[in-house]
Each structure stands twice: as structure tokens, then as C-alpha cells.
Homo-oligomer: A and B are copies of this chain.
Amino acid sequence: MRPIPPWPRLRRGLEHDYTILTVREDIVADPRTGQEHPRVRIDCGDWVNVIAVTREDQLVLIRQYRFGISAVTLEVPGGIVDPGEDPALAAARELEEETGYVAGRVVALGSVHPNPALQGNRCHSYLALDCVKAHEGHPDAGEDIRVELHPREAIPRLILEGSITHSLVVVAFYLEHLRATAPR
């Protein structure tokens, strides 16, 4: 089968800077025909999500108001990797800032592209083990976060019944499941 050729960018479009991301519409060429097509690109930093497990084998989940859907979601802690920051440290930092839990050990589960059609960034998933409550958390101004503990075995039900709907949180739980059950 013939390989898939890359589509060259002919022109960069006007870029709009929204602080947490930039959006631009480039013009690319179909290498088979030379025909021009617009393509939207959203640039932002990498993201992290962390499945945090306490010493009592409970999961540390959070509820917060999400502006995309104008509703409250149930998620794992996570956030944006700072420029130059190690994603594993970002995961531990976001966990502590959002929940006050400190991880004993952080294990990488893998990373995905949130949306390779539009975005260049990755979302890294981590498992944080032996988590202990150290304080009440230090969320950013503009974050209103509630912390909840749930038993690990509740996750499939929470996903299937639509209580957990954030795609990247669902991904983190599947990566954890695949790593836990993969042949060695």
C-alpha cells in the first residue's frame, strides 16, 4: 500500500491568542492534487491527569464547574503542564493543589493526543499511589473544587452511567486497566 504523504502548509493564517491556547487557520495543500484546504489548529500546552489512590485504596476524585458544558463534572485531578515542567511533577503538583493529597509514588500510565485533528498537545496519565491528605488544597483563583473519595471498583459504573464523562479521564482509567492486566 502506498504511504500517506504529509500535507504541506502553504500559508499560516492569522493567529488569535486566548492566553490558555492560540487558534490559527492555516492553508494546506493536498499532495495528490495540489488543491488548497483550510485547516484549524489549536495550540496549547500538554495536559496531565492523575488517578490518585489513598492508602485505604480509595480514589481521590473532584467535582468542579466546567465552562464548556456549563455544568459540574466528576473527574480526576489534573491540569496544564507548565513550560519545561516534568509531566510527572505536574501530576503530583496538580493533585496537591486541587485536593491537598500528597502522593507517595507516581507511575506513568501513558499519553494520548486529546485531538490530533486540531491540537498538537498530549495528555499524560499517571497513577499516584499511597496518597495522604496533607492540607485542604490550594486551588488557583478561579477554581472551585470539591474533593470526593470513591472506591476503585465504582469506576466502570460511574463511566457507564454517565457520571464520569470527560474523555481524558476515561482514557486514564483505561490505560490503568490495560497496564494492570497486560501480559508481562
Contacts and interface: CB of A to CB of B under 8 A. Distances in A.
Contacts of A38: 18-19
B167 A114 contact: yes
Contact of A37 (B119, B142, B167): B142
Contacts of A111: 162, 165
B113 A166 contact: yes
Copies of this chain in the oligomer = 2
Contacts of A170: 112, 170-171, 174-175
**A interface residue count range (under 10 / 10 to 19 / 20 to 34 / 35 or more):** 35 or more
Given A18-B23, A19-B38, A174-B171, A115 B68 contact: yes
A170 B156 CA distance: 15
Interface in A1-50: 1, 4-7, 16, 18-21, 23, 25-26, 28, 30-32, 35, 37-42
Nearest to A157: B182
Interface in A57-114: 63-73, 110-114
A123 interface: yes
Contacts of A160: 110, 175, 178-179, 182
A117 B66 contact: yes
Most buried by B among A5, A111, A165, A167: A167
Contacts of A28: 67
Interface of A: 1, 4-7, 16, 18-21, 23, 25-26, 28, 30-32, 35, 37-42, 63-73, 110-120, 123, 141-142, 144, 146, 156, 159-160, 162, 165-168, 170-171, 173-175, 177-179, 181-182
* 4 cross-chain pairs, A with B, having the tightest CB-CB distances, nearest first: A174-B174, A66-B116, A39-B67, A112-B167
